[in-house]
Structure 1
Amino acid sequence: MEQLQKKIVTYQWKDVIKRGLFALSIPLISLTYPMLNQYRGNTNDLFTFVDKLIPFNKFFILPYVSWYIFIAVFSVILCIADKEKYFKLLITLNIGMITCYIIYYFYPTYVPRPLILGTDFFSNLVLNLYAADNPYNCFPSIHVLNSVLIALYIYESEKVSKCTKVICIIMSVSIILSTMFIKQHYFADVIAGVIFAFILYFSFRNLKFNLHKRGTITYIE
């Protein structure tokens, strides 16, 4: 009996690792972004009066850069706890990012950045981000899109604890706000990212996985 239990546990973790490998699609798709994040002629300005009301705040650099950890941690949680929501998340993330890249190509935008004179830790973090990421191709915001999708699937999952859901939502909201407070995105970029995330979420909500038959996928109206 003990040996059987060990075999079951080993099999389950092998299954989790196999599922986790599908997440490599996200960094692979991201490899195309540097080619798009360049000046390619005329750009569009989506500045609104709302952006004028939002001050620059260097401290929001922390939630902004935590986005990478946020995606990794909560994707792993879904991968382990709820494989159906995990696969839905991967599908929507992939479609969302590819769609955003297509929009970036045909509708390039530009977000001007503030002059930062400080030499403290937070100011340097913002300056390093600005140096690594050009101010082009911001509509819709992928930071916002991915944060909302992860929060939606974590919240919907019955296999994730309430505490985890609360932490996920708080981090998601702080990341969304950070995109505007450190002037990486306009308000329009954020709204577009949120709307697009909900469109993707509800479009694939009825997707069902028959995971006991070699991962067969069916779509139920």
Structure 2
Amino acid sequence: MKKILKLLTKVIPPYGIFPVIFSFVFNCLVYSGSRMIAGNWYHYNIESSLDRKLPFIPQFLIVYFGCYIFWALNYILIARQDKKSVYQFFTADFLSRCVCLAFFLLFPTTNTRPEITGSSLWNQAAMWLYSVDAADNLFPSIHCLVSWFCYIGIRGRKEIPVWYQRTSLGIAVLVFISTLLTKQHVLIDVAGGVLLGSVCFQIGKKTRLYCIYAKIGGQIESVIRGLLKG
């Protein structure tokens, strides 16, 4: 354990370790837990006529899958910020997943996926994705929510080069597009993810809710520092 913590603290300060790990774990619990509970419930299809006109382009799976690297990198960059900023951001992150959970349970949604008949590599990849990821837990889109967080979490930060901030915005937009053109989400899912991220980010910044997170995080940080010294 001590060796693992030492490796982690070379990348993330002790106060940032718990927020990053908890964010990942809680996200998985929300996504998988809500599916276990509401998987067989009635799901609303909220796709629009414009959604139905958008083409299916499976090559965008490169972006759809590749964004996990983007998420990991930017969440680490955010966890390296000053302590207050870290707790404010991850308070927003936690609140956003709570709202997602509420929607997944109270207003479960679905969409219409295309019938895939071709045998190309991209079509096979899409068929695999559809087989392991059911058409549920769509509104708001967590893919879009997290990608937007990855941008606004570093936006305006002096320690982050402007070119990388702009690149992060570009990647986030590409993720939005990928969710639509792989038929994983519809337009309102994307808008919901971006709006939710923006609102929760402001709550984390403008209120003192982060103090609750900081209190819990501070206790865990003390444990981590104790383990490092032991």
- Output the TM-score relative to the length of structure 1: 0.81
Contact persistence 1:16–1:80 (CA under 8 A):
yes
Give the corresponding residue for 2:31.
Answer: 33
1:97 CA drift (Å): 1.3
Give the corresponding residue for 2:3.
Answer: none
RMSD of aligned alpha carbons: 2.6
Give the corresponding residue for 1:154.
Answer: 154
Counterpart code for 2:20: A
1:154 CA drift (Å): 1.2
Per-residue CA deviation, residues 54-83 of structure 1 (Å, 9 max, x unaligned), is 111111111111222111001112223554
Rate the CA distance shift 1:205–1:156 in 2: closer, same or farther, 3 A. Answer: farther
Point out where structure 2 has 5 or more consecutive residues left out of the alignment. Answer: 1-6, 220-230
Give the corresponding residue for 2:13.
Answer: 16
Q: Give me the whole-angstrom Cα distance separating, in 2, the residues matched to 1:129 and 1:14.
A: 32
Rate the CA distance shift 1:202–1:35 in 2: closer, same or farther, 3 A. Answer: closer
Aligned length: 204
1:186 CA drift (Å): 1.1
Q: Give me the whole-angstrom Cα distance separating, in 2, the residues matched to 1:44 and 1:62.
A: 28
Q: Map of 1:196-211 to 2, 5 A cutoff?
A: 196-206=196-206
- Output the TM-score relative to the length of structure 2: 0.79
Contact persistence 1:37–1:133 (CA under 8 A):
no
Contact persistence 2:20–2:76 (CA under 8 A):
no
Point out where structure 1 has 5 or more consecutive residues left out of the alignment. Answer: 1-9, 217-221
Identity of aligned residues (%): 21
Give the corresponding residue for 1:112.
Answer: 112
Q: Map of 1:62-81 to 2, 5 A cutoff?
A: 62-81=62-81
- Secondary structure, in 3 states, of the residue corresponding to 1:137? coil
Rate the CA distance shift 1:156–1:88 in 2: closer, same or farther, 3 A. Answer: farther
- Secondary structure, in 3 states, of the residue corresponding to 2:44? coil
Give the corresponding residue for 2:226.
Answer: none
- Secondary structure, in 3 states, of the residue corresponding to 1:154? coil
Contact persistence 2:44–2:108 (CA under 8 A):
yes
Q: Give me the whole-angstrom Cα distance separating, in 2, the residues matched to 1:194 and 1:55.
A: 22
1:182 CA drift (Å): 0.5
Q: Give me the whole-angstrom Cα distance separating, in 2, the residues matched to 1:83 and 1:118.
A: 51
Q: Give me the whole-angstrom Cα distance separating, in 2, the residues matched to 1:82 and 1:179.
A: 33
Richer in helix (by share): 2
- Secondary structure, in 3 states, of the residue corresponding to 1:135? coil
1:84 CA drift (Å): 4.0
- Secondary structure, in 3 states, of the residue corresponding to 1:91? helix
Q: Give me the whole-angstrom Cα distance separating, in 1, the residues matched to 2:167 and 2:84.
A: 21
Contact persistence 2:145–2:193 (CA under 8 A):
yes
Per-residue CA deviation, residues 171-207 of structure 1 (Å, 9 max, x unaligned), is 1111111111101111111111111111112222235
| 1:97 matched to 2:90 | no
